[in-house]
Amino acid sequence: GQNIDQPTEMTATEGAIVQINCTYQTSGFNGLFWYQQHAGEAPTFLSYNVLDGLEEKGRFSSFLSRSKGYSYLLLKELQMKDSASYLCAQGDSNYQLIWGAGTKLIIKP
């Protein structure tokens, strides 16, 4: 099967920048998604990349390199409310999503 790998947990300081990496298998690739999930809540969509490069959306940016099977989510000017899990998901050739286990981001004052 296809594996999505992302770190289990990261810690960062309020006001700082953090980069969450995600690697995936390149076969059957159909886009890369990032979702945010606060504890006890449903995932919410953050970004979608299908072409190489950086997509910026306010404090959040997402990068994709299709040749390397690599993506990252960049969060700037971290706020306490950014404490959440960040889920990386790959669209496959059947247009379903293959999900990583998520990265729990802890923000400290």
Residues of this chain that interact with other proteins (CB under 8 A) are 4, 8, 30-31, 33, 40-45, 48, 87, 89, 91, 95-97, 99-102
- Of the pair 101, 106, the CB lying nearest other proteins is at 101
How many other CB atoms sit within 10 Å of the CB of residue 3? 10
Closest distance between other proteins and the C-beta of residue 101, in Å?
Answer: 4
Rounded Cα gap, residues 101 and 4, in angstroms? 8
- Of the pair 14, 45, the CB lying nearest other proteins is at 45
Which DSSP letter does residue 59 get? T
Closest distance between other proteins and the C-beta of residue 99, in Å?
Answer: 4
Tokens of 37: 């999930």
Closest distance between other proteins and the C-beta of residue 95, in Å?
Answer: 3
- Measured at the CA of 107, the angle between CA 86 and CA 36, to 5 degrees, comes to 20
